[in-house]
Amino acid sequence: MSEAAAPAVHRFRVNGADVEVGDAQPHLLAALRDALGVLSPKDGCSPSGQCGCCTVLLDGKAVVSCQVGLERAEGKEVTTLEGMATDERARLTDAFAATGALQCGFCTPGILVRVKALLDKKGSALDRDTAARHLGGHLCRCTGYIKILDAVEALAAGAETPVALPTGIGERGARYQAAELGLGDKHFVDDMTPEGCLHAAVRLADHARADVVRIDTSAALAVPGVEAVLTAADVPGELRVGLIHKDWPVMIPEGGRTSYLGDVLAVVVAVDRPTARRAAELVAVDYEVHPPFSDPFAALASPEHAVWGLEGNVLSRTTYARGDVEAAFAESAHVVRETFRTQRVEQAFLEPESTLAVPDPDTGHLLVHSGGQGVWDDRDQIASLLAVGTDQVTVELVSNGGAFGGKEDMSNQGQTALAAHLLGRPVKCTFSREESILVHAKRHPIHIEAEGACDAEGHLTGLRFRMVGDSGPYASVGMKVLERAAGHASGPYVTPAIDVESVAVRTNNPVCGAFRGFGANQAQFAMEGLMDRLAAEVGISGWEIRDRNVVSPGVVWGPGQVLDDGCKGARRCLDAVRPAVDAAVAGGRAVGVGLGLKNSGLGNGFHEVAKAVVRFEEDGTVEVRHCWTEMGQGVHTVALQVACTELGIEPERVRVVVDTTRELGKGQTTGSRGTLMGAGAVQDACRAAREAGCAVGVDHEGTYEIDWTNALEEGVEHPVIHSTFGYAAQVVVVDRDTGAVEKVVAAHDVGKAINPLLVEGQVEGSVHMGLGYALTEDLPTDEDCRPTVDTLRGLGIIRPKDMPPVEVILVEEPEPDSPYGIKGVGEIGLVPTAGAVAAALHDLDGEWRASLPMRRG
């Protein structure tokens, strides 16, 4: 019997040093990260060459390292950011920091490597269009690419790009820790691998709705290197978790039933990730398959339950009415009716979900490193499934690589914590891109039957909406999304009569939950469509009908809330874009206008509390501790700026920490809450510090609280549904010859721009996402409830060369009783975009569009 061939050894150089790597690594990216500990290249696409995050130089040429086999690297020089000269690293990151060209930072190291290669090849001849074409292989979900190209232009021109942290509220300045993020030196969860760490992989369901008859783990357990295979039978505590309803099983047991293709059936734990993944495929499952509910209307009509263990297929129903809509319609000069349909959309954050759980061998206390948006919710749910007290679990927030709402629910935190708890060893689990697309909650597709009426001059007289949203099987926050859709249905307009019903339906399609805009996008796409159709009936422009109906202080809005002076921002945004509309018309362009509003905070009667701590250390450092997830939006920078303003200190003295060891807050980082409530809490902590003489070594605690909103079901005549609203007007200009979007003008009332540079980046990124939502992005499912797209490339995300210029106009109309007048910008960013695109395309060809996306395929 011949001896097995010895594994091949591949020799090449990495950052100037000779290395040897065995052929167990499937590609250069794995060799760099797993064998050599070179971590600036990131894996955002489950090695498929579709995100650009792992770009390195191979003999000076930019390559996507996950597509480079080790034999191709043989004898060559591999250069990553770690191996570049100090001044080169600083030159690149300074340009990106100074121009605001990075947000979450996950994609940035790969982009910097590509830019370095382009500069080496083209030097000062590198122009914006060329850079945009060459960056086509790089996805950035945060920035919209505009400031990235600004940075490239500055680098090509050899311009000085001095980097300075902002010294106070309202000042433009670099993001906190921008250099560490840009260079990949600030670690994400998957960059963390403690000694003795095991790796977990999940076995997902094969059918969206099927009884699980038997789970056979024997073949997986037989794989060398596999330490354990866990199933629902190993869960010592509660099987189901959830943010609002505890209805989402951590794993489906034998005798249970799957409810979507993201259900987990087993977790394989092994000595390394490839072994865990290979063994997970060997977990055999016997099913009794049932037809899934892929159509929400069929689910509504059926007496059969779509979801295992849950009765009925209506997750929630939100209704309200004011005035006599039927009489308004009967007496109005113009009535329009349309059915609008919006699509399911994937957040496509660049960092796939990753969790690291580390048990204390002496106490059993579990430390969980999570990139989620609500680490206290993670803690409480993990403690529940492990049947331990919350004092036995600490969930430490690790700044994540983008979220946009998609990391509010637990993804693999529960399974990873379970494995570490049972095995007494550190365990890490990182989803593949395909698993990520299947598991986490998406944007709701909503079917909207909308009716609107106005008088002969174009003043609204009545509105009626009937909305049905496909929420998938588990609650997540789906009922709140449809509640927000209902509350925001009338947009920033005044109407004396309104009748709204909004229903969230359980199906076996992917779970739907939070996503930037949170129901306001879908509802106001319909509302803006009604406004433009009514304008055509009256014979006035889209801008004019909005001008005649925009909210003002003291009016009764939507569900009955009387708006305060903060709503002046809607008028100011509309006025700010008027010159752009007039210029486009004069230039013969097709043009569309959108106007929107979106709440900040949770509202609807929810008692919101945020705390912060300011601590002066002996070495002169001022530590600011808060409770919000940093995911690229800049909440750390906000905390720094507030501290500098309130304490009169230099930004270099400030160290920002997300503290999950004490009860600073239990809420999710969602709904533009971080800037609003974080600033208020830090401001109050600074006040406490000043009153105590800025005593050293003392935790000076501050609180910001919102307890004055009302739930719709309270039946209050004039409820305060939300404490704060942001407003935005956007103009989309389309070239009549090519049909391409030529420019977007975005006027946003943010109350107070804490850092105008970062606020501009938020708006530009939102517009990029909004254009994708309007035109190209989609995550359809087939009759078996399986997404027909499972890669980043297939999602229809707009690439750099196709992103038009965005002119950002910042409006600051302070919100009364809000810290510094803050309103937030993360959520409102893309609310008006789709409506403005639809109006511009109607101006182009006369066709009314009512379904999203408008140009897919």
Instruction: Annotate 10-51 with three-state secondary structure.
Output: EEEEECCEEEEEECCCCCHHHHHHHHCCCCCCCCCCCCCCCC
331 and 359 together in one domain = no
Cα separation, 689 vs 700, in Å, equals: 5
| Residue 2: per-residue pLDDT | 44
**306 lies in some domain:** no
**826 lies in some domain:** yes
**303 lies in some domain:** no
| Residue 1: per-residue pLDDT | 38
Length of the chain: 857
User: What does the block give as tokens for 327?
Assistant: 């009489």
38 and 59 together in one domain = yes
231 and 126 together in one domain = no
339 and 369 together in one domain = no
| Residue 671: per-residue pLDDT | 75
Beta bridge partners of 724: 600
Cβ proximity of 233 and 482 under 8 Å = no
723 and 786 together in one domain = yes
Q: Which of 164, 187, 210 is the last residue in one of the domains?
A: 187
Distance of CA 468 to the CA centre of its chain: 23
53 and 163 together in one domain = yes
| Residue 734: per-residue pLDDT | 98
In angstroms, the Cα distances linking 472 to 173, 276, 313, 435, 736 are 42, 29, 10, 16, 40
pLDDT in tens, 313-358: 999 999 999 999 999 999 999 999 999 999 999 999 999 999 999 9
Cβ proximity of 48 and 58 under 8 Å = no
Range of the domain at 477: 315-346+442-603+714-845
Instruction: Give the β-pairing of 608-616 and 700-706.
Output: antiparallel
393 and 539 together in one domain = no
Number of C-alpha atoms within 13 angstroms, CB side, residue 237? 22
What DSSP character marks residue 422? H
565 and 613 together in one domain = no
Cα separation, 31 vs 274, in Å, equals: 12
Cβ proximity of 573 and 811 under 8 Å = yes
399 and 509 together in one domain = no
CATH of the domain at 540: 3.30.365.10
**854 lies in some domain:** no
**571 lies in some domain:** yes
**457 lies in some domain:** yes
**125 lies in some domain:** yes
Cβ proximity of 137 and 117 under 8 Å = no
Counting as low any pLDDT under 50, the low residues of the chain are 1-2
Q: Which of 409, 430, 451 is the last residue in one of the domains?
A: 430
pTM, 2 dp: 0.96
User: What does the block give as tokens for 501?
Assistant: 């019903």
Cα separation, 128 vs 231, in Å, equals: 52
Spell out the residues 6+ positions from residue 5 whose beta carbon is closer than 8 angstroms to its own: none
> What is the phi/psi pair of residue 8, to 5°?
-70, 150
Spell out the residues 6+ positions from residue 356 whose beta carbon is closer than 8 angstroms to its own: 189, 192, 193, 194, 197, 368, 369, 416, 426, 427, 428
What sign results for the dihedral spanned by CA atoms 9, 11, 17, 21? negative
CATH of the domain at 173: 3.10.20.30
Distance of CA 790 to the CA centre of its chain: 18
**308 lies in some domain:** no
Beta bridge partners of 13: 18, 77
| Residue 5: per-residue pLDDT | 57
Spell out the residues 6+ positions from residue 132 whose beta carbon is closer than 8 angstroms to its own: 145, 149, 800, 801, 803
189-191-196 Cα angle (round to 5):
95
Count of domains for the chain: 4
Q: Which of 659, 688, 706 is the last residue in one of the domains?
A: 706
326 and 472 together in one domain = yes
Cα separation, 547 vs 305, in Å, equals: 47
451 and 548 together in one domain = yes
In angstroms, the Cα distances linking 304 to 92, 298, 300, 506 are 59, 10, 9, 11
682 and 612 together in one domain = yes
